[in-house]
């Protein structure tokens, strides 16, 4: 499970509004499936939770479901059922030991669910090597967000074409 440090590819976009971050999640949603892990990295307030909630809402809407999507900050994990697919949204910020991640059952979920992991640095060397990393950072204009997607596994190559189809206009 060691995370490769050299991505196969990397692409960065600047989102000027929260709506653009939502649109990114909605545009990519149908490509994500059970067994996929998205590592949502970045500082507090950079957009990780907004992206995760947008993606979860879109996946649920695809199966005609509407649910409240609370932050997993205090519960550590929130799960959702989108048809046959389970979605795990985890926030590892408050964890200090890898054993706590094992206790949550997250490593099993990496194999069977779509997993959205905030604060993936808490995984250390146990980061799934086939994960997609989505890095959020505050752009030079503090109202904007730079969003960098990178992957080492060829299973994510489909994203390069899809990313070029994101409508960035509000």
Q: Quote the number of domains for the chain.
A: 1
Query: What's the whole-number average pLDDT of the chain?
Result: 91
**Residue 24 and residue 137: Cα distance in Å, rounded?**
15
Confidence of residue 163 (pLDDT cuts 50, 70, 90): confident
pLDDT attached to residue 55: 97
Q: Is residue 169 part of a domain?
A: no
List CB contacts of 87: < 8 A, sequence separation 6 or more: 56, 59, 79, 80, 81, 113, 114, 115, 116
**Residue 158 and residue 142: Cα distance in Å, rounded?**
30
Q: Is residue 166 part of a domain?
A: no
Q: Is residue 1 part of a domain?
A: no
CATH number, domain with residue 74: 3.40.50.300
Q: Is residue 44 part of a domain?
A: yes
Q: Is residue 89 part of a domain?
A: yes
pLDDT average, residue stretch 147-156: 94
Residue ranges making up the domain that contains 49: 9-161
The reported pTM is 0.92
Q: Is residue 139 part of a domain?
A: yes
Q: Is residue 122 part of a domain?
A: yes
Q: Which tens digit of pLDDT belongs to each residue from 78-95?
A: 999 999 999 999 999 999
Q: Is residue 97 part of a domain?
A: yes
């Amino acid at each position: 499970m060691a995370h490769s440090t050299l991505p196969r590819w990397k692409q960065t976009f600047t989102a000027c509004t929260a709506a653009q971050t939502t649109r990114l999640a909605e545009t990519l949603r149908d490509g994500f499936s059970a067994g996929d892990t998205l590592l949502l990295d970045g500082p507090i307030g950079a957009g990780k939770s907004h992206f995760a909630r947008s993606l979860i809402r879109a996946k649920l809407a695809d199966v005609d479901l509407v649910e409240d999507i609370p932050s997993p900050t205090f519960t550590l994990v929130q799960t959702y059922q989108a048809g046959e697919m389970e979605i795990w949204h985890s926030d590892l910020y408050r964890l200090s030991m890898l054993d706590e991640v094992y206790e949550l059952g997250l490593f099993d979920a990496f194999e069977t669910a779509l997993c959205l992991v905030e604060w993936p640095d808490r995984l250390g060397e146990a980061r799934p090597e086939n994960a997609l990393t989505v890095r959020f950072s505050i752009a030079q204009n503090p109202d904007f967000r730079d969003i960098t997607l990178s992957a080492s596994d060829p299973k994510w190559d489909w994203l390069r074409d899809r990313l070029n189809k994101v409508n960035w206009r509000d």
